[in-house]
Chain A
Amino acid sequence: MSEPLLTLSGVYTDIDQYHILQGVDLTVPRGAVTMLLGRNGVGKTTTLRTIIGHWKAKAGSIMYDGQDIVAMATPARARAGIGFVPEDMGIFADLTVEENMILAAVSGAPDPARLDWLFGVFPPLKTFWNSQAGTLSGGQKQMLSIARAMIEDRKLYLIDEPTKGLAPAIVSTMAGALRDLKEQGATILLVEQNFAVAKALGDHVAVMEDGKIIWTGDMATLSTDAALQERLMGLSMEAAQ
């Protein structure tokens, strides 16, 4: 088995006076989708933000592609190939869709073939190419947010609740796009509350509780064990669908 792309060891992160991450140990294998699950407020978003560098880890190490990135600034982490999709549709509302996409292609002009693929996955982006991103609907903004991360081939995608608050039709579009990305062999660390999407996409699972990873394993194991789901997350995946 090849070396994991990302390994967090004993990561502690504080936000102001709150101790959010309390020794996170997490491994993200290459070319697979790792789901980060858990109840609200257990530290899933903070974990992603600590990896991208928004929150600085107080202790522990974050090994990414063979190097410890704890001391690295956020832009350097992004340029090292980490694409981040925040949960709040992190688009630039004052810029057009085109400008948002061009801005996200940090290593040069966007690849036309990749852009065509994205237009196929998210048709509204082509329709509203010259529109201000702030005028898009919630679902379209989320499409843009994910497409921005996908505009270049990243080594690692950190995606935070991409289907949150979206209509079922848009959720299915999102899931389709992420499936496409997965089929291309991308490495994804995904926080997702929609269990149907999580079950369909996830290869591996890490479950968080109180700022720690309390269980890791395969999605196949978790998705077929209702008692385990109940114990880890307080509800069963089937019941939540």
Chain B
Amino acid sequence: MNKLIISPSPHVHGEFSTKRLMRDVVIALLPALLVSFYFFGFGAVKVVGLSVISCVVFEFLIQKFLLKTAPSINDLSAVVTGLILSLNLPSNLPWWIVIIGSLIAIGVGKMVFGGLGNNPFNPALVGRVFLLIARPVEMTTWPLPLTAVTPDATTGATPLAIIKEGLKNGLTIDQIKESSDYTFSYLDTLFGQIGGSLGEVSAVALLLGFAYLLVRKVITWHIPVSIFAAVIVFSGILHFANPDRFIDPLFHLLTGGMILGAVYMATDYVTSPMTLKGMMVYGTGIGLLTILIRTFGSYPEGISFAILFMNAIVPLINKYMKPKLFGEVK
């Protein structure tokens, strides 16, 4: 017999480990990835591969040579960052922009704060927003899905951008829907027949992943559902107040990476609140801000900014949204 091991209780451990949680996120993203490969072809494969590999490599290099700590790429968190970043990019993005985005995501988004667990903002979103501001043209030239490409149109605007552009030109929502740009149905947004980034095209694939994450208890329903609820309520009120100016809630839900953001980016452990109450507040805030930015801001899409903004408020939420103590007496 070896030396007995002594430790304080408990002496058994549950099934969770950081690696398992991250692996489950990767698995949950697989349907969305496959759909994007199907619609965008080799371009999508290239962007995803490049983004994942460069994120992992950057993490490894920074840990090894700058922070001089034991590299922890085994926990797969860099893979998740890379995947989520790539799902936010258009499939025709030049390779060097993808690499710069990865560097910003890992370097500025995560490592400067001390690595996994210490970053206040979602790393993938930091990378994405950096690219969106630094290279707006490349970042908003969305290739059409291979199935929707016609000889004279290989790129197109996203549904939200079409609406925004139309409204700017003084059209009403109904007029925009009848215009020639508006070539898709709600069914298309559900399955991915629209222009956009890799991950925002197919709602069904993303929801499949959501179900998987819930079953595996990786995340709870609180953040995504409160985001969806806030979006539906807020955009619903606007829509009923003025249907000519504001599009219906369903459109908001299905387009512009809403599901990708709500399920995979807002729920990032490190940058979301710690309590269920806090998660609801956080989710509601994201939903409201997204609609606010989409309908009144200058960018057609708002969820990235909304999440980053709410990330900044998370410490405050954690401070005030404490769980109610067992048997608490006031």
Chains A and B bind each other = no
